[in-house]
Structure 1
Amino acid sequence: MPQPTVVLVHGAFADASSFARVIPELLADGLRVVAPAVPNRSLVGDAEYVGSVLAAIDGPVVLVGHSYGCAVATVVGAAPNVQALVYLAGFVPAQGEDLGELQGRFPDSDLGPALIATPFPGGVDLTVDVERFPAVFAHDVDPAAAAVLAVTQRPLSAAAFGEKAPAAGWQTTPAWGLVATADHTINPEVQRFGYQRAGADTIEVDSSHLVMFSRPAEVADLIRKAVAAVSA
Structure 2
Amino acid sequence: MELLLLLCLCVSTWTGKTSADENGLITVNVSQSSDAILPCSPTTKEDLSFKSFKWRKDGLNVFHYDAGNHYNNGLRGQDPQFKDRVSFFQDQLRSGNASIQIQNVTIQDSGIYSCEISRLDSGSQTFNIKLVVNVPTLHATEDSDVMLPCSLSGKDLRQQVFDWKKDGQEVFLYNNGDHYNNGQHENFKNRVEFFQDQLQFGNASIRIKNTKQTDSGNYSCTFPRLQPPGQQFYMKLVVRKYKTFCPILKES
Same fold (TM over 0.5): no
- Normalising by structure 1, we get a TM-score of 0.24
| CA radius of gyration, larger in | 2
Task: Calculate the TM-score normalised by the size of structure 2.
Answer: 0.23
Structure with the largest fraction of helix: 1
